[in-house]
Amino acid sequence: MQLWNALTNRSSGGTLHAWSGEEFEHTPWREVVADAQGMATRLRAHGVRPGTRVATVLTNTPETVRGLLAIWLAGGAVASLPLPTRGQSPAEYRCQFAAVAARLDPTLLLMDDWLTSLVPEELAAQLPVAGWASLRGSGTIEPSPPGPEDIAFIQYSSGSTSTPKGCALTTRAIEEQMKIILALTGGRPAHDTVVSWLPLSHDMGMFGCLLYAWAYDFHFVLSTPERFAMAPRSWFRDMSEYEATMTAGTSTAVHLAARAQGRAELPKELRLRAAVIGAERVDWDTLSTATGKFGRFGLSGTAFQPAYGMAEATLAVTGKPWADAPSSLVFDGAALLDRKAVEVSADHPRATRLVSNGVALPGVEVVAGSSGEVAEIEVGSPSLAQGYYADPERTADRFVNSRLRTGDLGFVHDGELYVMGRVDDMLSVGGRKIYAAEIESAVDSFPQVRKGCAAVVDIGASGELPRLVLMLEPQGKPRDFRPIADQAAAVAREKCGVALSECVFLPRGALPKTPSGKIQRFRCRAMLDEDRLEPLARVPFA
């Protein structure tokens, strides 16, 4: 496909339905394009030309969507800087922001007006800062978007395991990813409707939803993460109202939406064909519960699509074929810790259920453990990034022989990928290896714990034996935290044969997480080491 021709197609029949704070604004794509052309004229006056980079903080506003295309029409590369994450102080964010901007050397910084207070003063003194709305105007320029091998987008991570890395994506890589997503979801150009609340600062929201819908002339319903957080029921209600055929989200978000639905009705029967679920470990019980909950509204048993992807591959790497039902297998949890995938029965004392992340998508090569071995996953893809922008050391470490060393552990079984999680999530305590996600997943199932809000971290001074601390956010307002802590400690012993040193209960929203919901384990450690916590309770174990 020719990306720029697709995005600027003035005969497009699709519509952008963007949440404005109180209601959806309805604008045909062709009008969005016309607005973007006017904004591109203003960007040229700001010095944006081919070869320049524009630093942005992308939120889910109508102006952001228009400004994105405007930057490309003016010839610039879009650099998407991370939004502030949960548990991150304004001072931490300003420091991170300044470090990323220094490496990027942008021509201009664009963001919503309300975010400008987070820009470090010294950076604002050196770099023009403008709001998206200030670019509105008329006029036209001769478009000069990035060429096929030029960098068009630099996707900075939110730092789930380290400081942000900027994945440098060419126009060709983005075009190839659009084809991959079309195959994954069984998309029908000019005939589908996509609904999303995912942040545009994240690859699932940007490439998997916005650009995918725009490039193939779909109707696109753009909500916001804030609206979903306040009203999780709005996700499926929007899909019902707008007769969505495709969406994307996380396992935790599916859980929240199903729980919030309760006995409420939906305005219309669901027409959802493809709901891509990724960005974190997919929970089998969550998919089963949600399928049952929304089945009475017409949700198909094949709709949920567990998938695996990353910003370094633009987005998708593997996924369940859209017409198939999700599947899972049960493995020996202790064997997995020893990097062996051994199938067992569901009633096995160390049973661990893993959801299949599907098969390698067209043109993608996935190398992982085989013959029962668990290993680091490596990926080759036509949509692979060039590397990390202005970061040769990290690029050389991760991009090797046209493949990406992902830092994730997994294995291939009967042609399907099973992902365990990050290599960094494998902890060593007293000579015993434990996989943090095993404990976290079990604690997540407690009714007294908020879904996706448990993190196991190892702390201790150099030369000392590390201590295991469980940080979690309770559900509701428990009067006694000891029973929850005791239950978690029992799970740690049963699942991994280790003892917790302490359970730390945090207020709602205090656990450090990326916008896509991944635990920031390195920031958790820093909060504990620097005693920057204001917990609801601490329960130590002897």
Tell me the pLDDT tens digit for each residue of 18-28.
999 889 999 99
Mean pLDDT computed over 257-266: 92
Question: In sequence order, what are the beta bridge partners of 434?
Answer: 427
CA–CA gap between residue 533 and residue 507 (Å, rounded): 10
pLDDT reading at 96 higher than 90: no
> What are 347's two structure tokens?
């009633």
Q: Binning pLDDT at 50, 70 and 90, where does residue 496 land?
A: confident
Q: Write down the mean pLDDT value for the chain.
A: 90
The secondary element (H helix, E strand) that includes residue 96 is: helix 90-104
Res 163: pLDDT: 67
Residues constituting the chain? 542
Residues 6+ apart with CB under 8 A from 117: none
Res 10: pLDDT: 76
Q: How many CA atoms lie within 13 A of 120 on its CB side?
A: 15
CA–CA gap between residue 195 and residue 220 (Å, rounded): 6
Res 427: pLDDT: 78
Q: Binning pLDDT at 50, 70 and 90, where does residue 461 land?
A: low
Categorise residue 431: left if φ over 0, alpha if ψ from -120 to 50, beta otherwise.
Answer: left
Mean pLDDT computed over 489-517: 84
pTM assigned to the model = 0.87
Q: Binning pLDDT at 50, 70 and 90, where does residue 159 land?
A: low
Res 413: pLDDT: 92
Torsion angle (degrees, nearest 10) of CA 101, 107, 112, 115? 30
Mean pLDDT computed over 68-97: 85
Residue entry with tokens 């650009």: 211
CA–CA gap between residue 521 and residue 381 (Å, rounded): 28
Q: How far is CA 198 from CA 133, 266, 513, in A?
A: 22, 21, 15
With beta carbons less than 8 A apart as the criterion, state whether 443 and 490 touch. no
Each domain of the chain, given as residue ranges in start order, spans 430-540
CA–CA gap between residue 72 and residue 450 (Å, rounded): 41
Q: Binning pLDDT at 50, 70 and 90, where does residue 542 land?
A: low
Res 338: pLDDT: 81
Mean pLDDT computed over 35-55: 95
CA–CA gap between residue 117 and residue 418 (Å, rounded): 43
pLDDT reading at 132 higher than 70: yes
pLDDT reading at 273 higher than 80: yes
CA–CA gap between residue 237 and residue 221 (Å, rounded): 12
Res 431: pLDDT: 63
Residue entry with tokens 């669901």: 270
DSSP-derived pairing of the beta strands 304-309 and 316-319: antiparallel
pLDDT reading at 529 higher than 80: no
* The Cα angle at residue 358 between residues 357 and 364, in degrees rounded to 5: 105
Burial 264-289 (b: 16+ CB within 10 A, else e): eebeeebbbbbbbbbbbbbbbebbee
**pLDDT, tens only, 415-426:** 999 998 787 777
With beta carbons less than 8 A apart as the criterion, state whether 97 and 109 touch. no
CA–CA gap between residue 169 and residue 154 (Å, rounded): 6
Residues 6+ apart with CB under 8 A from 373: 339, 340, 341, 411
With beta carbons less than 8 A apart as the criterion, state whether 513 and 527 touch. no
Among 225-239, 268-282, 461-475, the least confident range:
461-475
CA–CA gap between residue 446 and residue 452 (Å, rounded): 11
**pLDDT, tens only, 290-312:** 999 999 999 999 999 999 999 99
CATH topology (fold) of 430-540:
GMP Synthetase; Chain A, domain 3 (3.30.300)
With beta carbons less than 8 A apart as the criterion, state whether 277 and 287 touch. yes
Highest mean pLDDT among 72-76, 348-352, 476-480: 72-76
Res 483: pLDDT: 92
Res 465: pLDDT: 64
CA–CA gap between residue 461 and residue 96 (Å, rounded): 25
Among 18-32, 200-214, 436-450, the least confident range:
436-450
